[in-house]
Amino acid sequence: PVVLSQTKFVHRDSLKYPFEERGLQFGDGVYEVIRIYQGEYYLLEEHVDRLFRSLKAIKIKIPYSKVEITNLLLDLLKRNKVTEDGKVYLQVTRGSAARDHAFPEHTTANIYAYITKQHRNIENIQHGVCAITQADIRWEKCFIKSLNLLPNVMAKQVAKEAGCYEAILHKNGRVTECSSSNVYLVKDGSIYTHPTTENILHGCVRMAVERFVKNLEIPFIEKAFTLDDIDEADELFLTSSTSEVLPIIQVDGKMIADGQPGPISNKLQKAYEQDAN
Ligand code: PDD
């Protein structure tokens, strides 16, 4: 069959992307981004567990167990002879089938994963980054690591155009998370962050942070902070697999405290580095 590709008519089989793929047409799939340090995955088990939670939540079945997916990812690393820092992008969609909103009956999930280089951004970690705030206009199941990222993409672009690193998202003034990371506020020695309800992604680095704070005996309070609280914050930081523990030193053009990365952010970043090694 002939199809239209960009402005050329080409044979369907020569398309460079899969024909009628539900990830492309509906965003009907989920994904993971897993960090690699010197050729080894970091927090692999947490990511695989979350992948299976996401799959279950959108009722995608794959013919692999957690152990089998883990082994496939380890094999991918070996076959690529990865020895440096990087990340793997893993995506699972409901598959390819004639376009229809309802689940197709005889389709198998499409799974793909690839590894790319990812250098650590030491500059950002040492000096901190700036952020802007945006209304969180996403759906009510943000605990699913869904391919539907349009609100996240739009928010990140606003941040980028403001010369900032991230967009802090809020629902009626209560901060949920960032466009592609979790966010935390420090006040009087305690850390505040949104509880892991269905409204945010339960970050794997956040899970690691929850371990670190126990050792460091830093109170970790799962309570959403507000935009007003940011004005009074001692520190603000974000976490993600690609950003690690990253201080936020300015929000909407206003400095956080003295505009320098704070001691708790720095301690957690050190704990992260030790844990990832
Ligand atoms: N993003 N919240 C959102 C909305 C995210 O997209 C991410 C990760 C996180 C942090 O999750 P973790 O600690 O497991 O990386 C929180 C990845 C990195 C991405 O989309 O590229």
pLDDT of res. 81: 96
Ligand 1 pocket, 245 CB below 6 A?
A: no
CA distance to 113, 144, 165, 237, per residue, from 87 (Å):
10, 20, 19, 22
Q: Name the band, by pLDDT with cuts 50, 70 and 90, for residue 223.
A: very high
Atom of ligand 1 nearest to the CA of 35: 15
C-alpha 145/C-alpha 271 separation (Å) is 26
Domains of the chain in sequence order: 2-117 (3.30.470.10), 122-276 (3.20.10.10)
Active site residues: 145
Whether 5 shows a pLDDT value over 80: the answer reads: no
User: Which of 203, 183, 212 is closest to 34 using CA atoms?
Assistant: 203
C-alpha 192/C-alpha 181 separation (Å) is 15
ipTM: 0.98
Atom of ligand 1 nearest to the CA of 152: 4
Reported as a single tens digit per residue, the pLDDT across 224-245 is 999 999 999 999 999 999 999 9
Reported as a single tens digit per residue, the pLDDT across 108-120 is 999 999 999 999 9
Ligand 1 pocket, 33 CB below 6 A?
A: yes
Distance 75 CA to ligand 1 centre (A): 24
Reported as a single tens digit per residue, the pLDDT across 96-146 is 999 999 999 999 999 999 999 999 999 999 999 999 999 999 999 999 999
